[in-house]
Amino acid sequence: MADLGFGDIGFDATAPENQRTNSVVPAGEYPAIMVESEKKPTNANDGHYLKTKWQIVAGEFQNRIVFKNFNLWLPPHKEQALQIARGEFSEFCRAVGVANPKDSSELHNKPCQIKVKVRVDKTGQYDDQNDISGFKSIGKPAATPVAVAAAAGSDNPW
């Protein structure tokens, strides 16, 4: 038997500060902020992506980190991937209320709800990973095209 040396404060295995930080976060929705971003070249050197780092800001997994890449600058032959990335990025921008960002730093430290999924490696070669698959505003709902058109006095949102 060994004295663990925690004294009167004890040790709580369920406390967030005592959780593993290299394991995946369970699938779910979490309040988070983007804390870092960087434009990086793709592995094929045929475009660039925005590499983002996110921090969960509340709940059981507070201070845990997850990542998301947005393929925002791709060549024409990758149009479908570009459309998907721009759709995801648009959803994020609307969730944090920044419609026309000029620099990714304008999006840092703005809270939103992220939807996290777990990507399981079926080959067994790699650890499971988290993917951010959606964004929602916290508090008031994000503006929709219909709401924007109505505010502008138009019946046609397109």
* 158: pLDDT strictly greater than 50: no
Report the share of the chain in percent with pLDDT over 70.
79
* Angle subtended at Cα 81 by Cα 104 and Cα 67, rounded to the nearest 5 degrees: 45
Write the pLDDT tens digit of every residue in 5-20. Answer: 677 777 776 665 666 6
Write the pLDDT tens digit of every residue in 17-30. Answer: 666 666 899 999 99
* 143: pLDDT strictly greater than 60: no
